[in-house]
Copies of this chain bind each other. A is one copy, B any other.
Amino acid sequence: MSVLIVGSTALDSIKTPHAENPRLLGGSASHAAVAASFFAPVKMIGVVGEDFPKKYVALYKRHRIDLTGLQIEPGKTFHWSGEYEVNMNNRRTLLTELGVFEKFTPHLPETHKRSPFVLLANIAPALQHHVLDQMSRAKFVVADTMDLWLNIALPDLLRLLPRVHGFVLNDSEAHQLTKEDNVFAAMRKIHKLGPRYVIIKKGSHGSILSGPRGFFICPAYPLRKVVDPTGAGDSFVGGLMGYLSTARGGVDANIRRAMIYGAVAASFCCEGFGLKRTTRVKRADIDRRVKELEALTRF
């Protein structure tokens, strides 16, 4: 089955201690859609300006991403610029130009409204609601978020949580939302806000699922060098939803393995700037790392 993905489509200018990379293809929807495309047909919902480079449209198309829902509006594409510190763990935003994103209202083509798998990638909760409002047969909906929305749109986010099956956030966001230091205690509180599946991302420490079958401790793929972690979380959730939408046997039976596929997608994302590494990956490369992770965790 196909996955519908809504999120940001952006140009990212990324500075690290070693390099500067202007106007890379970025945004939560871009990363998630490319990661999901290795497993399933993807329908992407987003907005770009008239300045959006043709080569990035071509990139989406090479990944067979359905762009019927990609709006092209007069004005400039959302542009984010950030800088990473030496250890790649801390980043600061240098610049945010919303451009056409400021007035983005996602309109779903008729063909998109019945998608069974829906990923509400990181974007304002009001827009995540707006997409859900248009869906009629969503079978499994997962929402991602970021600290910004906890700060400026918490009521919208809290209204969203009972509407989704799965909720993904990182450990510091889970702490911010629940005031719990302990991730397992935090997940219990988040379940009470609505979602049946709660996934906490911990960067290089992996991720944890809390669901109907209990916890799952998902490792991160061991990388000796991280080039650019931007989009790793989006790739994780994109890979997860892509795998899940095509796996036989239901969510409960497949979500653990889906997280492993997500972790591998995230690992490739970290190995290059923007989507540079991910777009060179073949499905066989992904399967190889999944096998490796299997071997690295068996005892």
For A89, give the chain B residue with the smallest CB separation.
B181
Find A224's partner among B185, B204, B223, B298 (CB 8 Å cutoff): B185
- Is B259 a contact partner of A88 (Cβ separation < 8 A)? no
Mark interface residues in A187-220 (1 if CB within 8 Å of B CB, else 0). Answer: 0100000000000001011101000001111110
- Is B223 a contact partner of A182 (Cβ separation < 8 A)? yes
Q: Which residues of B contact A217 (CB under 8 A)?
A: 206, 219, 222, 296-297
Indicate whether A1 reaches chain B with its CB closer than 8 angstroms. Answer: no
Indicate whether A114 reaches chain B with its CB closer than 8 angstroms. Answer: no
For A213, give the chain B residue with the smallest CB separation.
B295
Whether A260 touches B299, Cβ cut-off 8 Å, given contacts A181-B88, A224-B188, A225-B182, is yes
A52 to chain B, nearest CB (A): 35
A183 to chain B, nearest CB (A): 8
For A294, give the chain B residue with the smallest CB separation.
B299
Indicate whether A86 reaches chain B with its CB closer than 8 angstroms. Answer: yes
Indicate whether A135 reaches chain B with its CB closer than 8 angstroms. Answer: no
- Is A215 a contact partner of B296 (Cβ separation < 8 A)? yes
Indicate whether A23 reaches chain B with its CB closer than 8 angstroms. Answer: no
- Is B184 a contact partner of A223 (Cβ separation < 8 A)? yes
Q: How far is the CA of A219 from the CA of B219 in the complex (A)?
A: 8
Some 28 contacts from A to B, beta carbons below 8 A apart, are: A86-B181, A87-B181, A88-B181, A182-B223, A182-B224, A182-B225, A182-B226, A183-B204, A184-B222, A184-B223, A185-B224, A185-B225, A188-B224, A214-B295, A215-B222, A215-B296, A216-B297, A216-B299, A217-B222, A217-B296, A218-B299, A219-B219, A219-B297, A256-B298, A257-B299, A259-B299, A260-B299, A297-B297
Supplied contacts A86-B181, A217-B297, A260-B299, 6 more A-B pairs, CB within 8 Å: A182-B224, A184-B222, A184-B224, A205-B206, A216-B299, A219-B297
